[in-house]
């Protein structure tokens, strides 16, 4: 039991840069108190002491503002930071090393008595106020943006944001595409666009009137642009 307590306190040190001492973490982290009391209520729930389980969960909610149904399965080293407003439903499953912030909801959309809450795999981070609905799976190490509403499963390692939640590129991917030595030139782009349009209009006029308009002018212009601006200048 003490091993688990130490592990929980270490987890807070690892995941909250504001944590200063073990004493402070032990007494003043509602997210931790909620996890500890859930362990008790889950024990009663599994032993079919349902009223007692709900009572412990209710008292926990009163003190921490975090509502975890006693039937929910919570892994090891799970940390709920700040915590107020978190709701975790009866059939939710939360894997190891999950980090979630205040206002997170793992909720159901079905009134039938079956698996109806999300499964959150290990290492997932769920931002403040994110709402995850239905028996979806958030793959391991995925990250859910603050304020998102997620109604579909998310593959492992992905980042999902917005309402409804959409998967975005992983951090750094789009940045890696930018080469600072080859910055885009908006003036050259504009000239290229105008020449392209001019070519199109000339060939339309040639087709309609049968008159040959010197296409060479545009071609020459284009090759000049190519010389001036490098690759891509030719149209």
Are the beta carbons of 54 and 70 closer than 8 angstroms?
A: yes
Q: Which residues does residue 168 pair with via DSSP β-bridges, in sequence order? A: 159
CB 29 within 8 A of CB 5: no
Using CB under 6 A, count the residues that bind ligand COA: 13
Task: Give min distance, CB of 144 to ligand COA, in A.
Answer: 7
End-to-end CA distance of the chain: 72
Beta bridge partners of 137: 119
What is the DSSP secondary structure assignment for residue 52, as one 8-state letter? H
Let me know: does 225 contact 191? Beta carbons within 8 Å: yes
Cβ atoms of 120 and 138 within 8 Å: the answer is yes
Q: Is 107 in the site for ligand COA (CB under 6 A)?
A: no
The least distance separating ligand COA from the CB of residue 93, rounded to whole angstroms, comes to 21
CB-nearer residue toward ligand COA: 46 or 166: 166
- Pairing label, strands 166-168, 159-161: antiparallel
Pure H helices in the chain:
2-15, 22-28, 30-46, 50-64, 173-176, 186-209, 215-229
Q: Which is nearer to ligand COA, 40 or 168 (CB)?
A: 168
Stretch binding ligand COA (CB under 6 A), from 63-71, 87-95, 109-117, 145-153: 145-153
Nearer to ligand COA by C-beta: 107 or 129? 129
**Residue 72 or 142 with smaller CB distance to ligand COA:** 142
218 touching ligand COA, by CB under 6 A: no
Residue from 44, 45, 79, 101 in contact with ligand COA (CB under 6 A):
101
Residues 146-175 binding ligand COA (CB under 6 A) are 146-147, 159, 161-162, 168, 171
Q: Which is nearer to ligand COA, 161 or 213 (CB)?
A: 161
Residue 104 DSSP code:
-
Structure tokens at 229: 């601006």
- Least Å distance between CB 147 and ligand COA? 5
Chain contacts with ligand COA (rule: CB under 6 A):
82, 101, 127-128, 143, 145-147, 159, 161-162, 168, 171
């Amino acid at each position: 039991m003490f091993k688990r307590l130490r592990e929980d306190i270490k987890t807070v040190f690892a995941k909250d840069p504001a944590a200063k001492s073990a004493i402070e973490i032990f007494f003043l982290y509602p997210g931790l108190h909620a996890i500890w009391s859930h362990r008790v209520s889950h024990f009663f729930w599994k032993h079919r002491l349902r009223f007692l389980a709900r009572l412990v969960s209710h008292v926990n909610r009163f003190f921490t503002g975090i509502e975890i149904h006693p039937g929910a399965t919570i892994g090891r080293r799970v940390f709920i930071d700040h915590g107020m407003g978190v709701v975790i439903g009866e059939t939710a499953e939360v894997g190891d090393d999950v980090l979630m912030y205040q206002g997170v909801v793992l909720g159901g959309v079905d009134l039938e008595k079956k698996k109806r809450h999300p499964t959150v795999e290990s290492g997932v981070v769920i931002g403040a106020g994110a709402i995850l609905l239905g028996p979806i799976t958030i793959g391991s190490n995925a990250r859910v943006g603050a304020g998102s509403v997620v109604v579909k499963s998310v593959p492992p390692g992905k980042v999902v944001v917005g309402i409804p939640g959409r998967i975005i590129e992983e951090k750094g991917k789009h940045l890696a595409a930018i080469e600072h030595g080859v910055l885009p030139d908006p003036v050259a782009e504009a000239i290229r666009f105008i020449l392209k349009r001019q070519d199109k209009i000339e060939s339309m006029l040639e087709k309609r009137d049968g008159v040959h308009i010197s296409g060479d002018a545009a071609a020459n212009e284009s090759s000049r642009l190519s010389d001036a601006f490098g690759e891509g200048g030719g149209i």
